[in-house]
Amino acid sequence: MKENGLGSTFVRHLVMAVPWGIISILVFFVAIAIIKEPIKKSIQYGVQTAIYQAADFAWDKTTVALVKKNIKKGITFGTCTARNGIIELLNDPQIKQEIKQGMRYTVSEVIKGTTDYALDPVIFAKVKKNVKKGVEFTAQRGRNEIRLLLTDPEIKQQVKKALEYSGTTFQQIKPPSD
């Protein structure tokens, strides 16, 4: 028996392994080609199912109620915490003193500024004109709102009933006899 060298043994086994490697690679690519579409569809199905379930969960009445409840609790907690913090701050004597000084300064400046403005005839005339415009605007808007409300037949009916009731009540009141 002839002994082969290490190099020749390596080449011989390499030549035997190459066809098996090629066959394995071909089988791998064929398997990927066959499995590729079902895997793609299963991933799409999973994503769509997750989206639909998330949407159903978001619109579920119990979930919405829980979210509302948690938001309400959060707002309540935040306001209570802020309120307690403000009360704690206002109980500090130094803060109280600073607020008093600030208010005194503000009131004195407002009074000083108001008297300066009140003595100026141009500013007084503008203020008078603006107040008159404001009163006219408010009156006009009130009239328009009443007209708009009276175009609604249901409100007309309610006003009519109220007037009839008040007229009936007024007629029932008898003047005192002499």
**What's the mean per-residue pLDDT of the chain?**
78
**Which amino acid is residue 98, in one-letter code?**
E
Indicate the length of the chain as a whole number.
178
Note whether 13 and 5 are within 8 A (CB): no
Residue 114 in tokens: 């108001």
In the chain, where the domains are located? 17-59
Query: Helix 153-172 crosses helix 121-150 at what angle (to 10 degrees)?
Result: 90
Instruction: State yes or no: pLDDT of 1 exceeds 50.
Output: no
For residue 111, what are the CA distances in angstroms to 84, 101, 105? 34, 15, 10
How far apart CA 153 and CA 161 sit, in angstroms, is 12
Residues 74, 76, 79, 84, CA torsion sign: negative
Maximum average pLDDT range among 6-15, 55-64, 146-155, 158-167: 6-15
Instruction: State yes or no: pLDDT of 94 exceeds 50.
Output: yes
pTM (2 d.p.): 0.31
pLDDT, position 131: 76
Q: Which of 34, 33, 30, 11 is nearest to 22 (CA)?
A: 30
Q: On the CB side of 148, how many CA atoms lie within 13 Å of its CA?
A: 6
Measured over all CA atoms, what is the biggest interatomic distance in the chain, rounded to whole angstroms? 156
Instruction: Say whether 176 sits in a helix, a strand or coil.
Output: coil
